[in-house]
Amino acid sequence: MTKQSKIYIAGHKGMVGSAIWRCLEAKGYTNLIGKSSKALDLRQQSEVYRFFDDEKIEVVIDAAARVGGILANNTYPYQFLMENMQIQNNLIDGALSHGVEKFIFLGSSCIYPKHAPQPLKEEALLTAPLEPTNEWYAIAKISGVKACEAIRKQYHKDYVSMMPTNLYGSHDNFDLKTSHVLPAMIRKFHEAKLNDHSTVQLWGTGTPMREFLYVDDLAKAVVFALENQLPEHLYNVGTGKDITIKELAETIQRIVGHQGAIVWDSTKPDGTPRKLMDVSKLNALGWHYQTELEEGIQKTYQWFLQHQDNFKEVKI
């Protein structure tokens, strides 16, 4: 692979895809391909195959997915299961059938069992039941991981899956109906600050522990996988450090400048008690995260302030 290799980034306008695009451009890659969902519907196999026929892609980075938090997963289970399988199956099989030698599949830490030993090791996959609040998305992503593993085993191609922990950063989704916890808190605290520092109500008890990775650090991990032939099919990507949701809320509250009260609604679900990633495998190969949580939240809040009039809204 060279800096001129034709690299297709599926989902290039999303938070993850745009970060990968920026990272590749910064490193001098000049032949990046991206298609909007209007130009290429990844759920339609015929469109995806025609795209591979026309473009002669050499590398695929799959950062395309229907994503959302507990509320969205609970409300739209069929879409989270079916559309994610359609997207990844079309990309994986399209790449295989068109001779693509390098494929990087991006998933999520939610693929691991709800009560898997902490920190989560890659070997925990499929050893126990999933967290019910996001099992639909998780099952779709697990099928993608296993498809890439099968291709490595049967066809000996460099197809690798990377499972990031909870991501945040610029181009995040701040729609309160579908967003993840960190961007949702940024928006809630910001709007409460503007509303005379009114009370902020948050879901759950605040006791679950979560790990957060700045999206630009994930992008660097993807480029690391792109530029190296990794020996295994599945790698966790994270910081290896976590905090409680309560600590996260207080950190965001301080950065945003909100001075009102926080009320926890314990009638709402907490989700998985803890999701800390064991990132020792990728660390041992030479990749390490760089952005500490407070710095990353500050950068994300600044991006939100600059784009709050037109931030990303997800339409179901």
- What's residue 253's pLDDT? 98
- What's residue 316's pLDDT? 36
Q: Is 106 annotated as a binding residue?
A: yes
Helix (H) or strand (E) holding 244: strand 243-244
Provide the sign of the torsion angle of the four alpha carbons 162, 168, 171, 176, taken in this order.
positive
Is residue 71 domain-resident?
yes
Q: What CATH number is attached to the domain comprising 60? A: 3.40.50.720
Is residue 120 domain-resident?
yes
Is residue 99 domain-resident?
yes
- Split into its structural domains, the chain has a count of 1
Q: Is 188 annotated as a binding residue?
A: yes
- On the CB side of 36, how many CA atoms lie within 13 Å of its CA? 2
- What's residue 224's pLDDT? 98
- What's residue 273's pLDDT? 81
Q: Is 206 annotated as a binding residue?
A: no
Is residue 25 domain-resident?
yes
pLDDT in tens, the chain (316 residues): 899 999 999 999 999 999 999 999 999 999 999 999 999 999 999 999 999 999 999 999 999 998 776 777 888 999 999 999 999 999 999 999 999 999 999 999 889 998 899 999 999 999 999 988 889 999 999 999 999 999 999 999 999 999 999 999 999 989 887 778 999 999 999 999 999 999 999 999 999 999 999 999 999 999 999 999 999 999 999 999 999 999 999 999 999 999 999 999 999 988 778 889 999 999 999 999 999 999 999 999 999 999 987 655 444 3
- What's residue 133's pLDDT? 83
Q: State which residues form the domain around 219.
A: 7-172+211-241+274-291
Crossing angle for the helix pair 45-55 and 77-97, to the nearest 10 degrees: 30
Is residue 246 domain-resident?
no
Q: Is 171 annotated as a binding residue?
A: no
Is residue 312 domain-resident?
no
Task: Point out the catalytic residue in the list 8, 29, 112, 137.
Answer: 137
Is residue 114 domain-resident?
yes
- C-alpha pair distances (Å), 258 with each of 5, 16, 106, 237, 247: 47, 28, 35, 32, 15
DSSP one-letter string for 7-27? EEEETTTSHHHHHHHHHHHHT
Task: Based on the residue annotation, tell me whether 168 is a catalytic residue of this protein.
Answer: no
Is residue 115 domain-resident?
yes
Residues whose CB falls within 8 Å of the CB of residue 197, separated by 6 or more in sequence, listed in order: 258, 259, 260
The pTM (predicted TM-score) of the whole model is 0.92
* Distance, CA of 217 to CA of 215 (rounded, Å): 5
